[in-house]
Amino acid sequence: MLTLKFIAAGLAGSEDEFSPEKVRAFLSGLPSGDPKRSARLLIARLVALNGATMPGRARLRVLDMFRDHVDWLLPQLEIRVAKVTPPIAAPLREAAYAIEKLLKELAAGYSRAVFEMPRAWLPVGLRQKLQVPLTRAMDFHARRLALSQRLYARSPGGVWSELHRLFQLARECGLASQEIESPRTSPLRVYRDALLLAFAEPTKLMHGDFSRVQGYLAAHGELAQIVAGRKFAEPLCVFAIDPRRDKPGVAYAKRADAGFENGTLVLLTHRLVERLDSQLRRLRDGIPPGSLGLPEEARMPAYRELMQRLAVHWRGERRPRSARIRFHPRVELWVGLREIWRSLRAEAPVETPQADITARELPVRSSDWIIVNESSRGFALKFMSGALPPISVGEIVGLRPKDRGTPFVCLVRWVQSNGPEHFEIGLQQLAPTVLPAVYRAGERAAVAAEPVLFLPQMPAQKRASAIVAPPDRVDRDRPFSLRHGGARLSLRASRVIERTQSVELIEVEAPGLPAAA
């Protein structure tokens, strides 16, 4: 969870302390060249403001002054964490904490103004006074969620409860669909997009995909609907939202007993998933992305794979879950294709091209983890100690039990990191047998040999042979040689099974038998 602890002076405040003149003087005195220090000073004043007793109109006037300055400051902090991958270094964590705290205090301030507004006003045509502060409170809460999701952290405590509560009030007052100008959005849109982002399972998104999902929702999110709860004969594309819980909700197909009583709402994603499926079909038929309401990068396989995953998540299909194991064995973990290759190679040294000798002689870097969950397809691991390099969804890792048993090679499918002391990953095993090998595009190729991992054919599992290689190194339908031990294979890449930012998993065919080295 992203948390930030500041000791704010003067929690007790007054209307005079937060007069427009004093607030204006405070804001003009902030160090514009030091965003972190400005953030700390702003947070302290916002904490004091939220603890002060003052009339609602005066509170809103001051909050708007702070909000204008925070909107100017946040981009300077957000650019520092825009491309980070966990684990996040200390200076970047400080920037992330500052962003979260600014969003939190502004959300709390607007929420307090909304819920302190006299309800006696509502029946006499003054409901519109709720519209701006209510929408802004929801927007700041949703931005807190987006920050934690983008950084693979748990959602801040209480934020979903506040969103449910605010949206329920917006519906009661007939304000849910009405837009405000700054930001140009509505309670319905903020709430719906926050739910869809949560149900997209952000811990499973590859680095950079979160902003792509946000872009997709900006163009097509209105296809999802929020309606009153009722029973559904077909459970897919139905998500039950229980406003009593501090959670987004649950897919009806995963929990048929979710219930639709006590004010439960339902998010329906049928039309959104149909749009995704239709766009994917038309992209395969060669229709330009722009005519489908998609960015130009939709031409790339990685974007289409993201769309396919979103369709699965927004259907809410039930998937089997593995039982937790009581005994948590320790394992060693290597991150990245090169580290895995060197580790496997070190166990059975063989002839290595000169270009790879230096890399092989370097010490293999590993870290210690415990297995918290294991299934037939993979593992869930928790970090314990050692050197921890950046780990993203889609990265390839190798692990081996401490008893020096059989090594496993897996792809990272989800990441959760709430701080430097907490890091968990979910892994999918690629194959029971993985061999370190050397790839060369041709016998006379000018480029150096490339370390790859070879997954031999496994007829019992009905899987073809495959290799794991760096992205865009192996040409499709072009023969190449692969050397492992004392044998050389002549192979041809038939198709890319999966592509991530780190590696490609490529199905290969062997037109000939292994030849002597």
Instruction: Give the three-state DSSP class for 487.
Output: strand
Residues 396, 503 contacting (CB under 8 angstroms): yes
Residue with structure tokens 């009405």? 178
**What is 330-431's CATH number?**
2.40.10
Residues 193, 181 contacting (CB under 8 angstroms): no
Residues 132, 77 contacting (CB under 8 angstroms): no
Residues 104, 8 contacting (CB under 8 angstroms): no
C-alpha angle 453-457-461 in degrees, rounded to nearest 5: 115
62 CB neighbour count, 10 Å cutoff: 24
Domain ranges of the chain: 20-181, 330-431, 435-516
Which residues, 6 or more positions from 125, have their beta carbon under 8 angstroms from its beta carbon? none
**Phi and psi angles of residue 338, each rounded to the nearest 5 degrees, phi first:** -65, -40
Q: How far is CA 244 from the centre of its chain?
A: 25
Cα 106 to Cα 46: distance, rounded to the nearest angstrom: 7
* CA proximity to 447, closest of 474, 467, 466, 471: 474
> What pLDDT was estimated at residue 350?
45
Cα 303 to Cα 354: distance, rounded to the nearest angstrom: 38
- pLDDT tens, N- to C-terminus, the chain (517 residues): 344 333 333 344 466 789 999 999 999 999 989 999 999 999 999 999 999 999 888 999 999 999 999 999 999 999 988 888 888 888 888 999 999 999 999 999 999 999 988 765 555 556 678 899 999 999 999 999 999 999 999 999 999 999 999 999 999 888 999 999 989 999 999 999 999 999 999 999 998 899 999 999 999 999 999 998 877 778 899 999 988 889 999 998 877 666 555 558 999 999 999 999 999 999 999 999 999 999 999 999 889 999 999 999 999 987 766 555 556 688 999 999 999 998 888 764 444 444 443 444 445 677 899 998 887 788 999 999 888 888 999 999 999 887 767 788 999 999 998 877 789 999 999 888 888 988 877 655 555 678 899 988 655 445 678 899 998 888 776 778 888 766 788 888 888 888 898 999 998 887 643 433 3
* CA proximity to 116, closest of 180, 162, 48, 53: 53
> What pLDDT was estimated at residue 38?
96
Tell me which amino acid residue 488 is: R
Which residues, 6 or more positions from 488, have their beta carbon under 8 angstroms from its beta carbon? 481, 482, 514, 515, 516, 517
What is the four-CA torsion angle of 15, 17, 19, 24, rounded to 10 degrees? Answer: -150
